[in-house]
Amino acid sequence: MTLMVCHFTTSVKESYQHPYDQVTDEPCADPRTSYRCLHHRITYKTAYRQAVKTDYRKRYQCCPGFYESRDKCVPRCTKECVHGRCVAPDRCQCEGGWRGDDCSSVCADL
């Protein structure tokens, strides 16, 4: 089995701490006055955003042009290899006496 490492990206929703200014109206520090003062305090709220995540896989995630079969990544041929077998993505290896992209043309005797 050939070990293949592929990377792929997915869009994910991630959480982060978003700062915001919390303003409160409180009595001023001088107790002799009836004035009200604004107090600012930075607090954090959980917020969400879309992000792109890159993953790497060694198994069960085949590279483009391959598909998984019995825990292995095997090449995919768009056309059937009529008289041959698929040896690489869209590449057939023809049996003796056959030719062509899909091994469907018989070799002419000279």
**pLDDT value at 1 more than 50:** no
Same domain, 33 and 62: yes
Q: Tens digit of pLDDT for each residue in 43-102?
A: 999 999 999 998 877 656 778 899 888 878 899 999 999 999 999 999 999 999 999 999
Same domain, 66 and 96: no
**pLDDT value at 21 more than 50:** yes
Same domain, 65 and 102: no
Work out the number of other CB atoms within 10 angstroms of the CB of residue 47.
12
Same domain, 68 and 87: no
Same domain, 89 and 59: no
**Is the pTM of the predicted complex or chain greater than 0.75?**
no
